[in-house]
A and B are shown apart, each in its own frame.
Chain A
Amino acid sequence: GAGVSQSPSNKVTEKGKDVELRCDPISGHTALYWYRQSLGQGLEFLIYFQGNSAPDKSGLPSDRFSAERTGGSVSTLTIQRTQQEDSAVYLCASSSMGRNEQYFGPGTRLTVT
């Protein structure tokens, strides 16, 4: 079956511009996560959605970052007024109800120039 998909695969933007990153989770998965991975580093948790519950936004680094999940499926991560330190790979993962293992998409590589 189809895995987690993300788009775009690469995004180059100028400092100060807004960007939107998209994630399509595995069909039927109720939980969706966003992580950020800087070059050569581990994954940093950003935000977590579970069903219709309020999202856990505790990992968002600043108020320039926001995310939404429409209809319990597709999610969009928005970064406003991008800064160079936002350059990273943004990874999305999903998991099914009651399961701990998270399945990751290929990521979006964001470069802020």
Chain B
Amino acid sequence: GESVGLHLPTLSVQEGDNSIINCAYSNSASDYFIWYKQESGKGPQFIIDIRSNMDKRQGQRVTVLLNKTVKHLSLQIAATQPGDSAVYFCAEKEETSGSRLTFGEGTQLTVNP
């Protein structure tokens, strides 16, 4: 399953499928990007990050892709599990803004058993 930027805030997939969550950013000066997972009633949990000098980074079951040309970021989750159900936020940082992160609106991922 795949979401389309911030205009489709929900994504529903079947357990075992791969999920793709997309994020568009507007600041071409951003040099660091990060994905967070937020479960209901909890604070955001770090998933994976990527610097602007990279276009791909892999973690455990997750991959982040960065396309600076079109200012697009995606999070791919392999073999999605019910425990992956949460809201996923992308965030960006611009060097001149210090360490402030600017967050997107989030995508609600629902994994159906």
Contact = CB atoms under 8 A, between A and B. Distances in A.
Interface in A20-67: 31, 33, 35, 41-45, 48, 50, 56, 59
A91 B98 contact: no
6 contacts: A42-B103, A42-B105, A43-B44, A43-B91, A56-B100, A100-B49
B46 A101 contact: yes
Interface residues of B, number: 22
Nearest to A100: B32
Nearest to A44: B103
Given A4-B43, A100-B34, A106-B42, A50 B100 contact: no
Interface residues of A, number: 24
Can you list the 10 inter-chain pairs with the closest CB atoms, starting with the nearest? A104-B43, A42-B103, A43-B103, A42-B105, A104-B44, A106-B43, A100-B32, A45-B100, A107-B43, A101-B46
A42 B89 contact: yes
Contacts of A76: none
B87 to A, nearest CB: 9
Contacts of A44: 103
Contact of B99 (A42, A95, A105): A95
A50 B43 contact: no
A113 interface: no
A103 B43 CA distance: 9
A102 interface: yes
